Amino acid sequence: MALLQDRIVLVNGGSQGIGAGIVQAAVREGATVAFTGRRAEVGEKLATETGALFVRADLADPAQARDSVVRTVQAHGRIDCLVNAAGLTSRGSLLDTTPELFDQHIAINLRAPFFSMQAAVADMKGREAPGTIVNIISNCAHGGPPYLAPYSTAKAGLAGLTVNAAHAHRWDRIRINGLNIGWTDTEGEDATQRAFHGAGDDWREKAAAAQPMGKLGQVDEIADFVVFLLSDRSGVVTGSVIDWDQNVFGGMD
């Protein structure tokens, strides 16, 4: 049987990048999937390709973050699994981050997952049914580079939220885990490298050559791992924030 057979899955931030890969993997593993995104043309294209339900939403608005769960339940009767994959990676250091940029990072990278989790857990508890949640975090939760100060701050908060919520709802049989994703090859990362770091067409090759495994993280690999964590095959694991990375934090050369 497929890993997510007959499960209802919502992927917030699922219209592109890692989120889109998770949508595709969840559909392949038998799930009925809904996903959110801001751009209608991108979301509708993925919906056509996968048969998943596209819910247009701006997750910076906490009401829309909660409503993504409500609309999933309205369409499919319940929610079994939630993935928070939306992320904002715009640059800012401690010295040059404005309050507006800081608030943008908190809104997308922390507040949106908080309130979508709130709505999902409420549905699961209301039905007295088990469920699973996976938060896509970042290795920047360990500290991050100086130019990602607000991003690192928000992602560290999401790591803390993951553990807190997992502890709070373990007796409800709701398992909540997170992945600290390392450097990954996505279309969004390509745009970021070009916009903020002056990268050329060969940036992927140069970046891969500098990594221990000789490559950047791949979307399909992350998606498969997320499906595993959502599924019963990951057993009783909850409250884990896993470093999905090829660099070992705390190690020294």
Pick the closest to residue 183 from 167, 153, 200, 204 (CA basis). 204
Q: Which of 151, 166, 175, 229 is catalytic?
A: 151
Res 131: pLDDT? 98
Domains annotated on the chain, with CATH: 8-241 (3.40.50.720)
Pick the closest to residue 117 from 76, 157, 145, 151 (CA basis). 157
CB 247 within 8 A of CB 183: no
CB 240 within 8 A of CB 165: no
Res 171: pLDDT? 98
Who's near 173: CB < 8 A, 6+ residues apart?
129, 130, 131
CB neighbour burial string for 152-190, b if at least 16 within 10 angstroms, e if fewer: bbbbbbbbebbbebbeebeeeebbbbbbbbbbbebeebe
Res 191: pLDDT? 87
Q: What's the rounded mean pLDDT across residues 33-61?
A: 97
- Give the pLDDT band (50/70/90) at residue 186: confident
pLDDT in tens, 123-165: 999 999 999 999 999 999 999 999 999 999 999 999 999 999 9
Tell me phi and psi for residue 226, to 5 degrees.
Answer: -65, -45
Res 128: pLDDT? 98
CB 46 within 8 A of CB 58: no
* CA–CA distance, 73 with 211 (Å, rounded to integer): 42
- Give the pLDDT band (50/70/90) at residue 199: confident
pLDDT in tens, 65-121: 999 999 999 999 999 999 999 999 999 999 999 999 999 999 999 999 999 999 999
CB 83 within 8 A of CB 12: yes
In angstroms, how far is the first alpha carbon of the chain from the final one?
45
Res 95: pLDDT? 98
Residue 151 appears among annotated catalytic residues: yes
DSSP result, 172-232: GTEEEEEEEE-SEE-HHHHHHHHHHH---TTHHHHHHHTSTTSS-EEHHHHHHHHHHHHSG
| 0.75 exceeded by pTM | yes
Pick the closest to residue 157 from 173, 135, 174, 172 (CA basis). 135
Who's near 237: CB < 8 A, 6+ residues apart?
175, 177, 229
Residue 229 identity: L
